[in-house]
Structure 1
Amino acid sequence: MHVLTNEEEVALLGLIWFRPKELDWPAPFDAHSNSLSITLAKRTYPPARGQGRIVPFFREAVQQYLGSAGYSASTGFWLSTRTQNKTNIAVNMKLGFKVVGTHSDDTFMSATAADMMNALRIIA
């Protein structure tokens, strides 16, 4: 788990975590989803929300995870978010994720390590 804090006030500003978990779905959304075995979640809280802090925080977390023993180059990453949360979907796309499907009120997104690293280089 990666934690973003405000050193002045020792306030929690954000969290990112990675967890081995297959995308548990009866039929894959697309061929890429067959390799989706790591889920991740990211949260930002005021006053960090909307301040551009998620990109450097996410970059550091991804780089650390990719350097860990739990990572394999063939591993795909996935996450889900509420379909009505258009801001979060846009941020995820900026971070290299693409929409692979929807179900009920959730939008599922996926990315490879290369997708994320390329996106992070572009927005550096």
Structure 2
Amino acid sequence: MLKISLIATLLLSISMTSFADTAISKDLRPSAQLNTSIERLPLPPTPGNMKLPEFGQGIIGWGTGPDGAEKRLNNITAQDVDGFKHQGVSLEMVQTWQKFYENETLRNPGNPAAPLRAKLMKKIAELW
């Protein structure tokens, strides 16, 4: 009887663990939060058609992820914006990137950097 009880306890424990893993993995999947009724906008232009990391991290300085975007949002200055102008960034580019990230915020709530990048681009436009 003790043997059967131990086996039953072990099987119950395994099934509960599997259930917990499944429930957690569903919560972590970004695609589970994707709003398919909102289309992804095309990537906006960059100066000289440079790659996104060169533009975002190199020129704008938004770093990586939400922490990098928030840090840049909190320390962007009008002097920085003047520097962007000399590197080929236009106000139209900034506004287009703002719209892109506002759309991404709605389309993919699982992207934590998108709302911060949208706010950053808005602030840059205001400092223009």
Task: Assess same fold via TM > 0.5.
Answer: no
> Aligning the two structures, in what range does the TM-score lie when normalised by the shorter sequence?
under 0.3
Q: Of Structure 1 and Structure 2, which has the larger fraction of its residues in strand?
A: 1
Q: Of Structure 1 and Structure 2, which has the larger fraction of its residues in helix?
A: 2
TM-score normalised to structure 1 length = 0.28
Larger radius of gyration: 2
TM-score normalised to structure 2 length = 0.27
